[in-house]
Homo-oligomer: A and B are copies of this chain.
Amino acid sequence: MTLTTEGFRDHFAAGGRAVNGWCAIPSPVTAVILARAGFDMLTIDLQHGLIDYQTMLAMLQAMSASAAPKLVRLPWNEPGIAMKCLDAGASGVICPMVNTPEDARALVAATRYAPLGTRSYGPMRAGAIFPDYAARAGDLVQVFAMIETAEALRNRDAIMAVEGLSGVYVGPADLGLSLGHVPSLLPEAPEVLGAIAEILASARRAGLLAGVHCGSGEMVGRMLAQGFDFASLSTDAGLFTGALRAALAAARA
């Protein structure tokens, strides 16, 4: 079953899994290369990626021939940019540093229409893509809160109890850093791996989706096997850099 924006929740409800492609390079051309490579879903990173809103719009437009859901990781939990990304037609947002239930409520407020939230109405591109958007936005928009600090870990159940979240997303590097470890997308410390498992368990109990950022294909496979609904596969820049080095080594061998 192909994952789509319209069928996002059904896909996972039916036990589907997804590999998420991660766009950190500010280029519609590389975005399309990702979109064609076969990822189940895609995320444009406005936080650590080198991308801002106008480039994100060009990337969304360029990827429009792909049915895969296209999420945006927000730069921060700020309502202005959250609403702009959704108006531009993003299938959802991943919000960094949701550490408290208040953070989660602010995120929901910015991304859900009344009465659940206070998102302002004006879905400029989203409304052109999705017929009857106002009525369907609750289903078409996914809202993920990142659990990536010690504080968030402690508050995870209270955060996940906030109505309006679609799920949570684990950032292993920040989580590790916050727990006193060297930040890494390939965490090995038992404390960090344990924390990841606890977040997943909480999500399962709360009936929320759970995603996680991974530093390798191996880790993606492991995390999906562990029960995560979706897992992000490194970044475009990381995979590209690795490929160039390998090709150069082969050429010089």
Chain B residues lying within 8 Å of A78, measured Cβ to Cβ, are 76, 78, 80
Known: A24-B124, A36-B128, A120-B47. A55 touches B58 (CB 8 A): no
On whether the beta carbons of A121 and B33 are closer than 8 Å, the reply is no
Chain B residues lying within 8 Å of A88, measured Cβ to Cβ, are 50
Identify which of B61, B76, B128, B217 contacts A247 (C-beta below 8 A): B217
Identify which of B50, B76, B237, B248 contacts A38 (C-beta below 8 A): B248
A233 sits at the interface (CB 8 A): yes
Report the 7 A-B pairs with minimum CB-CB distance, sorted nearest first. A48-B122, A76-B80, A217-B250, A243-B243, A217-B251, A37-B244, A75-B80
**27 contacting pairs across A/B (C-beta < 8 A):** A25-B27, A27-B29, A29-B50, A33-B237, A33-B240, A36-B241, A37-B244, A37-B245, A38-B244, A38-B248, A39-B248, A50-B88, A58-B61, A58-B62, A61-B61, A61-B62, A75-B83, A76-B79, A78-B78, A78-B80, A113-B177, A121-B177, A121-B183, A122-B174, A220-B251, A239-B240, A239-B247
Instruction: Give A residues with C-beta under 8 Å from B.
Output: 19, 21, 24-30, 32-34, 36-39, 47-55, 57-58, 61-62, 64-65, 74-76, 78-81, 83-84, 87-88, 96-97, 113-115, 118, 120-125, 128, 134, 148-149, 171, 173-174, 177-178, 180, 182-183, 216-218, 220-221, 231, 233-234, 236-237, 239-253
